[in-house]
Amino acid sequence: MTVAEGETLVLTRRERLIWAALASDLRFGPKSFMTVRSRMPNMQALWDQSEQDWQQAGIPNELVARIGEIRKASNLEVLDERLQSGGVELLTIEDQAYPALLKEIAVPPAVLFVKGTLPDMPTVAVVGTRMMTPYGKRVVADVVGELSRQGLVIVSGLALGIDGAAHRAALESRGKTWAVLASGVAQPYPATHRQLARDILETGGALISEFPLGTGALKHHFPIRNRIIAGLSRATLVIEAAEQSGSLITARSALEANRDVFAIPGSVYAPGSKGPHMLIQMGAKLVQSADDILQELHLVNAKTEQQTRNIVPDSKEEALILEQLGAEPITIDDLAIATELDASMVMSTVTLMEMKGRIRHLGNNCFVRR
C-alpha cells in the first residue's frame, strides 16, 4: 500500500502516468498544468487528441509545441516500470490524498513524487543552517525531539546541519518525519544522507519531491523545494540561520501562506543567530521550548488525539483486524482466516487502515500494527 492508492483512485493509472510524463519536463511546471486543466476535461483526453485539437481548446502555441515534444519522447510503459521498481507513487493535485495545506499556497506543485506514506497528522517544518553549532544540535534534540514525541510530523529538507539533525531527532523519538528534496526521490541529496533517507522510510516517514526521477539537486531547485517544506506545514521553526539563507526563504514562504513562523534565539555574537533574531524583530514568535509551539498551535493534546485515532477502530472489520495484528507480521490470507472475513474485504480495510497510519505494510502482503 502506498500514498496514492486507496481512496485516491480518481485517476486511471494511464492518466496518472500522463501527469508524470508531463512533469518529467522541468519546463512544464504548475502554471502549465493549470492552463491545461482549465482547457481540457482530463489529461487522457489531452494525450489522445491532436495538436490542432489543443490549439482549438485554447492552449497557447508555445505550450502546444512543448506538450507535443513531451508526448513524442515519452514511453508510458517504461515510466510506469521506473516508478513501480523504485517504489515511487505519483500524487496529483486532483487526488484526495494530496496534502490539504499544500493546496493553499500561491503556486502548489501539480505533481508530487512520493516514497513512503503521508498520514493525516499535524506537521511542523524545521529548517536552519548547514553549519550547525553544538548549541543548535542541543536545541534540535530538546525542542524538535519533544515536538515529535508529542505527535507532530517533522518536515525538513534532508540537508546537512539542522535539517539532518531534525530528521534524526524525530527518528530517535520514534516519531514521523518527511524529507522534501531538491532532487528526485530515487537519488536523495546529499549522498551522505542516503542512509538517513532509508531510515526515514523504514520508520513510516516519506521522501517527497516535485522533481521527476533522475533529477539532480541543482542550485535553483532549493528555493522551489523550500516553498513545499513551508506549504506542507502548520508552522515553520528556524534554528540557526544566516541573514541570507535558504531557511529565511522557507520562513518567507510560510508567511506568504499565512502560517506561523517561530525562531530560536541565540548569542548576539553568533553568526547563526542573525537570521532568527531578524525574524523575531519582524514578528516571528520567540521559542524557548516545544511547549511554546504546542500552545501557539493549540496542539498540546496532539499526541493523545493521534493515539486515540490510532487505537479506536472505525468499523467492526477494523476492530476484528486490529485484534489480530501485533508486532509480528501477518499476511492478508491469514488475516482473512483469523477474522472470518472475505479476503477482498480484508484487503480494502487494511488499505484504509494504512492510509490512517494505524498499521504498516512490510511488503509481500504482510502487515503489523503500528
The tens digit of pLDDT for each residue in 271-313 reads 999 999 999 999 999 999 999 999 999 886 655 555 545 556 7
CA distance 248 to 142: 22
Please choose, from the candidates 173, 174, 135, 140, the residue with its C-alpha nearest in 3D space to the C-alpha of residue 156: 140
Q: Give per-residue pLDDT as tens, 35-47.
A: 998 998 888 889 9
* Model confidence at 258: pLDDT above 80: yes
Cell numbers that stand for 79 in this block: 515510466
Any idea which fold 123-302 has?
Rossmann fold (3.40.50)
Any idea which fold 312-369 has?
Arc Repressor Mutant, subunit A (1.10.10)
Other beta carbons within 10 angstroms of residue 214's beta carbon come to: 11
Q: Give per-residue pLDDT as tens, 136-192.
A: 999 999 999 999 999 999 999 999 999 999 999 999 999 999 999 999 999 899 999
Q: Does the model's pTM come out above 0.95?
A: no
Cell numbers that stand for 194 in this block: 542516503
Query: Domain extents for the chain?
Result: 7-78, 123-302, 312-369
Which bin fits 236, alpha (ψ -120 to 50), beta or left (φ > 0)? Answer: beta
Q: What is the mean pLDDT of residues 338-352?
A: 85
